[in-house]
């Protein structure tokens, strides 16, 4: 969650009226399904009141997985070498709420990064 907070804060750093606070995750009390129910509005309003916030951004869920690509290169001696690059992917599902519990927007943010490169054996 720190990465989201820092990313959002850096986007708004020129606006002194915007402050980001990491609040309670709500995870201990709610599931993805319960977050879709009308009663979740009360939980959003309670969090906004607790932190005197005008908006709540909830990280609803994450989908994390690995994938890889194999690259072949010709070495100076004419032989072939292969490298397998492993990537870590993350789909992050976010919902933006007003302080009165209304959904403003829902979005998905995908991130990926090179996790590790390793020599691969030829087929």
Cα–Cα distance for residue pair 98/41, rounded to 1 Å: 10
3-state secondary structure of 78: coil
pLDDT score at 87: 95
109 CB contacts (<8 Å, ≥6 apart)?
91, 92, 94
For residue 36, the 8-state DSSP code is G
pLDDT score at 1: 56
The range of the structural domain enclosing residue 6 comes to 2-120
Mean pLDDT by 10 residues, the chain (123 residues): 68 74 64 77 87 84 91 88 93 90 90 90 61
Cα–Cα distance for residue pair 59/7, rounded to 1 Å: 14
Total count of domains within the chain: 1
pLDDT score at 24: 58
Strands (E), the chain: 55-74, 80-98, 103-120
Structure-token pair, residue 109: 């943010």
pTM above 0.75, yes or no: no
For residue 50, the 8-state DSSP code is H
What value does the CA radius of gyration of the chain take, rounded to a whole number of Å? 21
pLDDT score at 78: 87
């Amino acid at each position: 969650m720190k990465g989201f907070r820092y990313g959002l804060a850096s986007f708004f750093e020129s606006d002194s009226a915007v402050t980001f606070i990491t609040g309670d995750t709500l995870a201990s009390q709610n599931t993805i399904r319960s977050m879709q129910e009308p009663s979740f509005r009360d939980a959003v309003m309670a969090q906004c009141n607790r932190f005197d916030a005008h908006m709540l951004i909830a990280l609803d869920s994450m989908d994390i997985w690995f994938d890889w690509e194999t690259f072949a290169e010709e070495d100076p001696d004419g032989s072939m070498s292969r490298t397998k690059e492993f990537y870590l992917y993350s789909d992050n599902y976010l919902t933006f709420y007003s302080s009165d519990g209304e959904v403003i927007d829902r979005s998905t943010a995908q991130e990926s990064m090179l996790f590790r490169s390793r020599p691969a054996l030829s087929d």
